[in-house]
């Protein structure tokens, strides 16, 4: 079993560069399936486990895909399957995002139900409601969703019951090739939606309103490959911001876009952390006393649920009691029990965690139950007395490139010990770079 070992107490300092955003690159790679001619060149694609998974998925559908030096090239002029393999969808929920592009382009898609995961049940009803409104027939059988449309999808007015990121992306991609105009109301407004819309527009799509609650998509006849640079990862950036604050250090987080981090910057400042915004990144200095604050996760531009656990780690070191309310996912407090192993005092009451500050965190053996829980445990360990051993780190590998090496370079006492591959996450037999496609 692989693990990360941290000996806490080091003050971090220096500069750390943010990689491209996981949550932007995944839908963008899915969207590349819409291009019937030309090659897409996707720059700043982080080498993450999730990216490897979608790479395998795109390849399994017949597209040519190649990864080199953080650049992904996709030629999807020929596809020979509309069915996503269960082993890949099981590993990563974002695999479900190939449904919209396949349905729009091939008129049919068969995708395993992505199922729930540690943080919640995560239904897909809003995705399906959108496809049905555009004329698709949806059938569920043997654990698969099968979507079909006779001819082309038709533009429709779709109101989302929840401003779902994935549903907005899936429906937006499908609507690019629909006949007529689609409106998505109560659309998600995350920066990753804007990035996807920019890529699709570069492919020839006609999308307006990305970043607002109403998207208008005028269908076009075809799309082609395009060149696109992925936005920096605001959650990775936020995680390093907390690393600076929790170790009382000073870090410059290069590449962070402050505009995407407003809720995080604002909460950190409320806690007494110094944050200096810069056009090339953000500097965070955690020297002063930390104040307790209350916080609530919300869809963008509210406080991101993907930063909740990391902020909770920091609140353990603040003066006083904080309330952390999670409104996006119903089960995103799995890190609490692990923090408690590290001497934290936290009580969960429904959707709110009551977090006692002034905690003397102590090193312990803990387990990462999901991606951000894992990141939060690394952060808590950086501020703990003694040694912390974190297992379940395949979750962390889904979303952080070289987290151990990056923290080492900033002065942390952290190392990774690689053991046998966890059965649950056993990589596919086809290696990531095993078969390089030939390019036309």
Residues of this chain that interact with ligand PEP (CB under 6 A) are 23, 93-94, 119, 306, 371-372, 399
Residue 49 binding partner per list ligand PEP, ligand UD1, none, with a CB distance cut-off of 5 to 8 Å that depends on partner kind: none
Least spacing, CB of residue 235 vs ligand UD1, in Å = 7
Residue 125 binding partner per list ligand PEP, ligand UD1, none, with a CB distance cut-off of 5 to 8 Å that depends on partner kind: ligand UD1
| Residue 126 interacting with ligand UD1 (CB under 6 A) | yes
String marking each residue 294-333 x if it binds ligand UD1 according to CB under 6 A: -----------xx---------------------xx----
Among 4, 25, 26, 314, binds ligand UD1 (CB under 6 A): 26
Cis status of the peptide bond prior to 220, with omega within 30 of 0: no
Among 166, 191, 281, 286, binds ligand UD1 (CB under 6 A): 166
Q: Assess contact for 261 and 192: CB atoms under 8 A.
A: no
> What are 197-204's contacts with CB under 8 Å, separation 24+?
197/172, 198/228, 199/28, 199/31, 199/42, 199/226, 199/228, 200/31, 200/34, 200/172, 200/173, 200/176, 202/226, 202/227, 202/228, 203/31, 203/34, 203/35, 203/40, 203/176
Among 2, 6, 8, 23, binds ligand UD1 (CB under 6 A): 23
Residue 102 or residue 167: which is nearer to ligand UD1 going by CB?
167
The rounded distance, in Å, linking the Cα atoms of 130 and 27 is: 17
Encoded tokens for 286: 């955690």
The DSSP result for 382-405, as a single string, is HTSBSEEEEE-THHHHHH-TTHHH
Ligand-binding annotation for 93, yes or no, is yes
Ligand-binding annotation for 124, yes or no, is yes
Residue 364 or residue 401: which is nearer to ligand PEP going by CB?
401
Please identify every residue annotated as catalytic.
117
Exposed, middle or buried by CB within 10 Å (0-12, 13-18, 19+), for 321? middle
Candidate ranges 104-112, 162-170, 173-181, 362-370; the one touching ligand UD1 (CB under 6 A): 162-170
Residues at the binding site for phosphoenolpyruvate are 22-23
Binding site for ligand UD1 (CB under 6 A): 23, 26, 93-94, 120, 122-127, 162, 164-167, 188, 192, 305-306, 328-329
């Amino acid at each position: 079993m692989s693990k990360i070992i941290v000996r806490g107490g080091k003050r971090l300092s220096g500069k750390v560069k943010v990689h491209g955003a996981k949550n932007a690159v995944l839908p963008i790679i899915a969207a590349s399936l819409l291009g019937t001619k030309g090659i897409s060149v996707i720059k700043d694609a982080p080498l993450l486990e999730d990216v490897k998974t979608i790479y395998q998925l795109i390849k399994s559908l017949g597209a040519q895909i190649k990864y080199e030096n953080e650049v992904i090239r996709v030629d999807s002029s020929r596809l020979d399957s509309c069915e996503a393999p269960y082993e890949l969808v099981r590993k990563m929920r974002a695999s479900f995002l190939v449904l919209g592009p396949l349905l729009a382009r091939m008129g049919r898609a068969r995708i395993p139900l992505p199922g729930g995961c540690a943080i919640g049940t995560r239904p897909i009803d809003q995705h399906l409601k959108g496809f049905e409104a555009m004329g698709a027939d949806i059938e569920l059988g043997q654990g698969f969703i099968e979507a079909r449309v006779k001819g082309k999808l038709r533009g429709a007015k779709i109101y989302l019951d929840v401003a779902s990121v994935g549903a907005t992306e899936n429906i937006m991609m499908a609507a690019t090739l629909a006949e007529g105009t689609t409106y998505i109301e109560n659309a998600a407004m995350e920066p990753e939606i804007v990035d996807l819309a920019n890529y699709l527009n570069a492919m020839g799509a006609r999308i307006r309103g990305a970043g607002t609650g109403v998207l208008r998509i005028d269908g076009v006849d075809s799309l082609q490959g395009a060149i696109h640079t992925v936005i920096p990862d605001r959650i990775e950036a936020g995680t390093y911001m907390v690393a600076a604050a929790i170790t009382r250090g000073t870090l410059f987080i290069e590449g962070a876009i402050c505009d995407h981090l407003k809720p995080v910057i604002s909460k950190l400042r409320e806690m007494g952390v110094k944050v200096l915004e810069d056009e090339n990144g953000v500097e965070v200095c955690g020297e002063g006393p930390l104040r307790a604050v209350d916080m609530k996760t919300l869809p963008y531009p509210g406080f991101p649920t993907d930063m909740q656990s990391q902020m909770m780690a920091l609140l353990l070191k603040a003066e006083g009691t904080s309330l952390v309310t999670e409104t996006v996912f119903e089960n995103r407090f799995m890190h609490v029990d692990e923090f408690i192993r590290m001497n934290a005092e936290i009580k969960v009451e429904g959707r709110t965690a009551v977090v006692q500050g002034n905690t003397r965190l102590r090193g312990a053996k803990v387990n990462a139950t999901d991606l951000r829980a894992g990141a939060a445990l690394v952060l808590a360990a950086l501020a703990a007395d003694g040694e912390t051993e974190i297992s379940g780190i395949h979750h962390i590998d889904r979303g952080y490139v070289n987290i151990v090496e990056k923290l080492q370079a900033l002065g942390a006492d952290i190392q990774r010990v690689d053991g046998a591959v966890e059965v649950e996450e056993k990589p596919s037999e086809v290696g990531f770079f095993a078969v390089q496609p030939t390019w036309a």
